[in-house]
Structures are given as C-alpha cells and as structure tokens.
Chain A
Amino acid sequence: MNIITLIKQVPDTAQLSSSVNGLQLMSQGGPRIVNPWDEYTLETGIQLKEAHGGTVTVVCMGEPDSTEAIKRGLAMGADEAVLISDPLLEGSDTLATARALVAAIRKLGQVDLIIAGRSAIDGNTAATAAQVAALLDIPQLSYVAAIKALDPVTKTITVERLIEGGRETVSSRLPAVLSVVKEINEPRYPSFMGIRKAAKKEIPQWSVADLGLEAGQVGRAGSQIKWPEVNLPPAREAQVEIIEGPPAEAAKILADRLMAEKVI
C-alpha cells in the first residue's frame, strides 16, 4: 500500500485571547501546529500501513517552516515526507493548491490511498481533498468515520461516512481520496524514538519547477479567487444579564426573557 497523507501547518487558534486577535495571530509568526483535523489524517495513514504494509508519505504545502508539522507526522510513524514550498505558490486558491498537490502526488508515483482531513482551520474551505480527487479523476470518500474493510489485492475499500442525518456505508475502488473526521481514531503521541528519527530525516523541498508546473498555474496568477480584505468579525454586542435567584425563580425569569426574544 502506497499511502499519501496531505497535511497542512496552521496557526494555533489556542493562542487567541483577549490580547491576541485573529489578525495578530496570522501576522505575528507565533506557534504553528499541525492542522488539528490532520492529526486524524496521519493516524489513519499510519494505522493502515501497520495493518496492510507499505509506506506513508507526508505531503505538505506551505511556508518553508512547515517542516515542524511534517516532523510531527514522521515522528508519529510516517516513512517519507515532501514539502512543497515556493514563493510562486503564494496566494494560491483551493484549486491552485490542489494542482500543486496533484503534481506532487503524480511525481511520487503509484499511489493507493490519499488521505486528508475534513478541512483546515485557517482557510476553512473543506475543498482541497475533493479537488485533488477531481483533478486525479479518482473517487473521493468524505467525512470518513471508520474504515470497515480494505483489500490491497482487489484494490477495494469500504468506509463508514458521517453524513448529515446519519451514517452511510460506501464501498469504492482504489486509488481513492479519503477525507477523515475526528471519530475515526485517536491520534498517537510521537514516541521518543520517533522524534529522534524525524529530527534526522531529510525532507526534500519541491518548487513549482520541480513539480513540472508553470508559474501561471499556481499562486495568485493561477487562482480565480482573491481575498483582498481580511478583517476581524464584528464584536458580539452581548452584555450578559445574570439571572439571580433559586432555580424555579430563575427559570421563570429566563423563560420570560427567551419568549420576549422570540427564540422559543
């Protein structure tokens, strides 16, 4: 099994506070983490490799310092990693990002399974995995909460998907793109040995030229979406009214308020 995990390094939203707002978090460097959804991506890939053999390759597109996120993947148990990084990629929208990822996937050769997270907590598009599948013209299985069966010989997979209003069991041929949700597993902590191994591992960095792409296919030039303005959302105006009194009394007051607000 050749498994590729697509991960992203993102700002740590846990650093947001009354003194650090979203704009400051994005601009001021600060700690970066593996996109929380991608912890499940990595764990899924590593568990499948443990069960079926093969290799897990981490593919990450981002700033040159994204090696931190990649090292976490390697320390957890991934075998190989590639960083896609190039100033020409700046301003890539989801489709330009998918083009670069697909070029890297093709360069890596034969693949059975591509795994991604449900979305990234910075851009929140939930689009890249589906676009990678579209460009590769292979099936996409989204919101995967469990892998019920996988047969590397017949190249088939059966998964349980979390859909709105329930669960769905779907089977597909491989290769396929999976996007996973939190329910699928509990990501492991990297072992001491894993961290040492990851620290020594060479992480090749691929440029746009290395991927065989033209500058106009990626970055701002290759994107149909621009975001000229990013602002703080309007502050919530709520001024809390603390409702005092013993339970039965407080319940009456709150019911009055909520009925006046017309929310019940």
Chain B
Amino acid sequence: MANDIFVWIEQSNGAGDPISWEAIGAARQVAAGLGGQVVALVLGQGAANDLAARAIQYGADRVFTAADPSLNYFRLEPYAAVITKLAQEHQPAAIIMGASNAGLELSAYVAAKLGVGLAPDCTGLAVENGSLTATRPVLVGNLTAKIEFGPARPQLATIRRRVFAVPEADSSRTGEISQVEPVLAEADIPTKVEGVEAAAGQVSLTDANIIVSGGRGVGGPEGFAPVKALAEALGGAMGASRAAVDAGWVPYAHQVGQTGKTVQPDLYIACGISGAIQHLAGMKTAKIIVAVNKDREAPIFKYASYGIVGDLFQYLPALTEEFKKRLGK
C-alpha cells in the first residue's frame, strides 16, 4: 500500500460533506501520478455503510469504516487516533482531506503525531518525481506558494473548498469495505460534546454557490433586509464585511474576509462594500463578482465583472423582483 492515498470522508449526521468528494477527485489525480489506490476512511456511526458505498462511487478503491458511538460527532482526539493508527499500519504515500474547520485541525494533528509534512488549504496538487507538490494561497490570498515535501511519508494535504471538481458518481464501481475498531475508549477521550445547535434554514457561506453580502453602505441592521431578501431569492447565503459585523449589524458567522471566512462561490454580489484588501482576501476568487455601490471609485469595481453605481436600497429590491421572476419563484 506504499503508493496509496488515504482520504478522510467528513460527515455530519450521516450526510457526507461535498468537500470529501472533491478530495476523492483530487486523490484520484494524485493516485494516477503515484500508481496507487484511493482508500477512503469513513468514521462515525449510522450511515457508515451508505457513505462507504458513496465514497466508492466517487472514486475510492477501498474503504475503512470505524463505526462506534464515540465517533458520532467529530472530535479531534478519537478521530486522529484512528487515522494515525491506520496510517502507521498501512503506510500510505499521502493523506488528503478537505480544508474544512475539522479537516484543517485533523490533518495538522495527525501530521504532528506522525512527524510528517502538511500543506494546508491547497488550491492545486501534483506529483513530481514520485512526491506530492502543492500550490496554496498565503498572505490571505495575496501570494501563492509552491510547496514541496521532504521524504517522510505520508505527505498530508488539505484542499480548499469548491476548487477541485466533484467527480461523476459511478454506481458500477466496486471496492472492498473493511471495518476497523476505534482506538480510544470513551473514557480516554478528553472532550465531551454537550450540545450542538444547528444554524437552521441558513445556507452555509462556505458551501454556497451564491453569496450576497452587505457592508458599511447598508447603513444599519435594517439595511440587511434587502440583502437577505436578494440572497434568499437566489437560494444563496448572506455575507457581510468586517465593518458591518464590527458595527453589530450582523453576527460574526456572516463575516467574509481576513478575520472571517474565505469563500469561493460562483456568484458574489457585494452591496455597499467598498472592497478593502481584507474583504477582498476572503472573496476575490469568486467566479463572478457583482458590485452595487454608490461610489464609482470604490476598489470593489476593479474586481467586479458587473457593476451598478447607485443606491442599493433602490437596486436590490428590483434585483430581487427580477430574479424571483426568472427563477420562477
């Protein structure tokens, strides 16, 4: 198994996170370069078998599942213990995960336990001379670094969300599914999950195809109503600039930018956002950017494909109306 690629399949309540299918796609490319197999790791109870089958359809050749109540919620220590042990036993060439909140820390923790190299949040992966190489944004997207790994195996990388394509699922694919035991007993796990509060009914910013964000120009908490209405009409998520969050108009979970979230939607509509470098850091790789701003000189227009220079309180309701019509709502 010395050329195999492990991929961690992230799940929440039995639902696979799309970033894991993106990771399988990335792993298939790497496996082609290394001549190994793609091995999916599905941790958690319940839907493990279903997720294992999905992982095979998306491109895994083999799956290890660990189903135990102690693995129901993602917790760093028990998850890392299973993956570290499997890596020690099977000596894969690389481990790839999504650069989700959980994937970033899990990969870092496993890399430290194994004493190997880690390239987080990669936007490109390749194989050169039998070794993984990566491309990743640094200085919050203002620079791009090429990463090379030393000889230690496995080489760990996490991939940025929505950069690598989800492979076509192929229901005719088959693969071996093997069960493994959890490594840590519940009593040896230092953390307990006391409760989880789901952000009900909201589209997650990091998963969103479409994001509509408001900034200082919306003028106050009420000003976010037309921003939210447009986001809902488009089936998208609502974002905000730091200025709007710091002013207390919207919760921090909506902040896009240097000290908030980095997003990668197909469409980003910036409303009343001037385009400070810290905000651009979080959204400038969106496929299409639309800016609605009173000030034609605002830096956001340098990054936008389409712009409307005008009062967002007049234009956003018109846009909402028009998109509702087009989308048959």
Complex CA gap A163/B253 in Å reads 10
> A94 to chain B: which residues have CB within 8 Å?
108, 111, 118, 120
User: Is B109 touching A140 in the complex (CB atoms < 8 A)?
Assistant: yes
User: Is A23 touching B258 in the complex (CB atoms < 8 A)?
Assistant: no
User: Is A131 touching B322 in the complex (CB atoms < 8 A)?
Assistant: no
User: Is B105 touching A170 in the complex (CB atoms < 8 A)?
Assistant: no
Complex CA gap A14/B77 in Å reads 37
Which residues of A from 133 to 169 have beta carbons under 8 Å from B? 133-135, 138-143, 145, 158, 162-169
Interface presence of B159 (CB below 8 A) = no
**Chain A residue at minimum C-beta to C-beta distance from B150:** A224
Pick out which of these stretches binds chain A: B43-51, B53-61, B85-93, B189-197: B189-197
> A2 to chain B: which residues have CB within 8 Å?
none
Complex CA gap A88/B287 in Å reads 42
B174 to chain A, nearest CB (A): 31
Interface presence of B303 (CB below 8 A) = yes
Complex CA gap A176/B77 in Å reads 12
Q: Indicate with 1 or 0, residue by residue over A53-73, a CB within 8 angstroms of chain B CB atoms.
A: 000000000000000000000
Interface presence of A190 (CB below 8 A) = no
Which residues of A from 233 to 261 have beta carbons under 8 Å from B? 233, 236, 238-243, 247-248, 250-252, 254-255, 257-259, 261
User: Is A126 touching B104 in the complex (CB atoms < 8 A)?
Assistant: yes
Q: Indicate with 1 or 0, residue by residue over B298-329, a CB within 8 angstroms of chain A CB atoms.
A: 00011111111110001101110111001100
Give the total of B residues in contact with A, Cβ under 8 Å. Answer: 97
User: Is B146 touching A229 in the complex (CB atoms < 8 A)?
Assistant: yes
B106 to chain A, nearest CB (A): 8
Pick out which of these stretches binds chain B: A41-49, A79-87, A116-124, A195-203: A116-124
Given A126-B121, A230-B145, A255-B322; A14-B278 close (CB under 8 Å): yes
Residue from the list A167, A176, A226 in contact with B148, Cβ < 8 A = A226
User: Is A252 touching B322 in the complex (CB atoms < 8 A)?
Assistant: yes
User: Is A238 touching B289 in the complex (CB atoms < 8 A)?
Assistant: yes
User: Is B143 touching A233 in the complex (CB atoms < 8 A)?
Assistant: yes
A167 to chain B, nearest CB (A): 5
Residue from the list A165, A232, A243, A248 in contact with B199, Cβ < 8 A = A165
Residue from the list A165, A223, A242, A250 in contact with B198, Cβ < 8 A = A165
> B29 to chain A: which residues have CB within 8 Å?
none
User: Is B101 touching A240 in the complex (CB atoms < 8 A)?
Assistant: no
Residue from the list A23, A93, A121 in contact with B140, Cβ < 8 A = A121
User: Is A126 touching B195 in the complex (CB atoms < 8 A)?
Assistant: no
Complex CA gap A139/B191 in Å reads 7
Complex CA gap A253/B136 in Å reads 36
User: Is A263 touching B210 in the complex (CB atoms < 8 A)?
Assistant: yes
Given A98-B112, A127-B118, A131-B111; A164-B100 close (CB under 8 Å): yes
Interface presence of A205 (CB below 8 A) = no
Interface presence of B152 (CB below 8 A) = yes
User: Is B306 touching A251 in the complex (CB atoms < 8 A)?
Assistant: no
Q: Indicate with 1 or 0, residue by residue over A175-210, a CB within 8 angstroms of chain B CB atoms.
A: 010000111000000000000000000000000000
B152 to chain A, nearest CB (A): 5
Given A95-B112, A165-B199; A225-B306 close (CB under 8 Å): no
Complex CA gap A69/B258 in Å reads 19
> B266 to chain A: which residues have CB within 8 Å?
263
Complex CA gap A13/B284 in Å reads 15
User: Is B319 touching A254 in the complex (CB atoms < 8 A)?
Assistant: yes
User: Is B118 touching A247 in the complex (CB atoms < 8 A)?
Assistant: no
Complex CA gap A13/B259 in Å reads 12
> A145 to chain B: which residues have CB within 8 Å?
252
User: Is B195 touching A168 in the complex (CB atoms < 8 A)?
Assistant: yes
Complex CA gap A241/B309 in Å reads 11
Interface presence of A264 (CB below 8 A) = yes
> B319 to chain A: which residues have CB within 8 Å?
247, 251, 254-255
User: Is A240 touching B305 in the complex (CB atoms < 8 A)?
Assistant: yes
> A129 to chain B: which residues have CB within 8 Å?
105
> B20 to chain A: which residues have CB within 8 Å?
none
User: Is A223 touching B150 in the complex (CB atoms < 8 A)?
Assistant: yes
User: Is B234 touching A225 in the complex (CB atoms < 8 A)?
Assistant: no
Residue from the list A25, A170, A181, A236 in contact with B142, Cβ < 8 A = A25
Residue from the list A124, A128, A138, A264 in contact with B327, Cβ < 8 A = A264
Complex CA gap A134/B305 in Å reads 45
- The residue in A23, A123, A232, A243 that gathers the most chain B C-beta atoms within 10 A of its C-beta is A243
Complex CA gap A181/B255 in Å reads 11
Complex CA gap A243/B266 in Å reads 20
User: Is B193 touching A124 in the complex (CB atoms < 8 A)?
Assistant: no
Known: A226-B150, A252-B322. 15 other contacts (CB 8 A): A14-B277, A21-B142, A129-B105, A130-B105, A131-B108, A134-B80, A142-B101, A164-B206, A227-B148, A236-B303, A242-B306, A242-B307, A255-B323, A258-B288, A264-B234
Across the A-B interface, the 7 shortest Cβ-Cβ residue pairs: A224-B117, A247-B318, A22-B142, A134-B112, A127-B108, A251-B322, A224-B150
Jot down 5 A-B pairs with beta carbons below 8 A, ordered by A: A124-B136, A130-B112, A227-B146, A247-B319, A254-B308
